[in-house]
Structure 1
């Protein structure tokens, strides 16, 4: 029986998730994994509001997986070390993940690929998971960047979007793999009173509300700083609880 690990980073959803879809298509079982990266925490990104929002996202992802017969495996430490340890533990054949856009993400992918290939395993990195188009796809013919918006927009509209994938009906996760407890917002101290709720369910609710009630008037209201005229989707796009391609 072949098995794949799906490494979640900033793509915390089930709808329109190419790495999960690819893993389910090629393997009998998958292990959805999130690593609480000590490198990110050491860089100062473990602020209470971010940590609490992330906890919401992970709890919602775990709940969605459990509805489909699976679960989220949570580990803490160095991402490469934790992925390789789980691959050995589960005897996984391959790892799937979303392509990142930051220098940190690129370095993480390179380290992980080298470590897995040294053990005879394969890493598959999927584009257009955290971005609507692949990085570098929207470039002009004569220079390395666009200087004004109109030609950029024209080039953007020429690119065919990829098909949006539905959430899987079933996710088969092997038994016996250890996991930390999924984080809970209630355990995070020092959060702001008005902190928004995280998670894919909340993201999809906000998108539906925005399309029905806010999008049509946005051209007239987007400069109203005092008005409640925005989609409120920014943190969800950042954590990947909503697919930018679907949006």
Structure 2
């Protein structure tokens, strides 16, 4: 049976997730993977509110996967090293992840692609997961940005948005791939009392309430 790895980064949801749907295409198993990378913490992420919100998001994602027969795999360490380890443990030939726009993400993607290709595996990067259109789609030909609104608006209006994808009904995960324990909000000190809950479930609940409020 074909097995793929899906690397979650800032896209912690099951609905409208092209990498996950692509990995599941054909009925194979997947390893839904999140890597807690110390490099991200050193860039300023490791503050209480962000860590607590992340804990909520990971647990909500894991709960959604378990409702569909799967689970979230959490690893800690360098993203490239851990993804390669998981791919080897699962005997996965493909790795799927979302494209991102930061320099950090671009360097990580290139490192991961080279490491996987060395091991005979392939990386698929999916655009328009965390952005509405692919980076560069609304930039002018001779510059990196529009200086006047009207031509920018015209270019933006020409862009077609992809169809929204439903969450998968079932997710099969190989049993042999181990996971670290998921973090809990209660273990994070110094969290602001007004911090809202994280996760797709809470986000969709808040959106539904806002839309129905008029």
Consecutive unaligned residues in structure 1, runs of 5 or more: 215-247
Supply the distance in 2 between the matched residues of 1:148 and 1:209 (Cα, whole angstroms).
36
Q: Which residue of 2 aligns with 1:12?
A: 12
Alignment root-mean-square deviation, CA: 1.2
Q: Mapping of 1:83-122 within 5 angstroms?
A: 83-122=83-122
Q: Which residue of 2 aligns with 1:58?
A: 58
**How many Å apart are 1:44 and its aligned residue?**
2.4
**How many Å apart are 1:14 and its aligned residue?**
0.2
Supply the distance in 2 between the matched residues of 1:2 and 1:18 (Cα, whole angstroms).
18
Q: Mapping of 1:169-208 within 5 angstroms?
A: 169-208=169-208
What TM-score, normalized to structure 1?
0.84
- Quick check: 2:89–2:176 contact (8 Å CA) kept in 1? no
Equivalenced residues, count: 214
**How many Å apart are 1:27 and its aligned residue?**
5.5
- Quick check: 1:3–1:27 contact (8 Å CA) kept in 2? no
Q: Which residue of 1 aligns with 2:213?
A: 213
Q: Are residues 27 and 94 of structure 1, via their aligned partners in 2, closer, same or farther at CA, if it must alter by over 3 Å? A: farther
Q: Which residue of 2 aligns with 1:67?
A: 67
Supply the distance in 2 between the matched residues of 1:208 and 1:156 (Cα, whole angstroms).
27
Q: Which residue of 2 aligns with 1:126?
A: 126
| SS class of match (1:43) | helix
Is 1:140 aligned with 2:163? no
Q: Which residue of 1 aligns with 2:154?
A: 154
Consecutive unaligned residues in structure 2, runs of 5 or more: none
Q: Are residues 117 and 142 of structure 1, via their aligned partners in 2, closer, same or farther at CA, if it must alter by over 3 Å? A: closer
Supply the distance in 2 between the matched residues of 1:65 and 1:38 (Cα, whole angstroms).
25
Supply the distance in 2 between the matched residues of 1:213 and 1:152 (Cα, whole angstroms).
33
Supply the distance in 2 between the matched residues of 1:140 and 1:212 (Cα, whole angstroms).
39
Supply the distance in 1 between the matched residues of 2:59 and 2:79 (Cα, whole angstroms).
20
Supply the distance in 2 between the matched residues of 1:171 and 1:83 (Cα, whole angstroms).
19
Q: Which residue of 2 aligns with 1:77?
A: 77
- Quick check: 2:31–2:72 contact (8 Å CA) kept in 1? yes
Supply the distance in 2 between the matched residues of 1:47 and 1:148 (Cα, whole angstroms).
38
- Quick check: 2:90–2:176 contact (8 Å CA) kept in 1? no
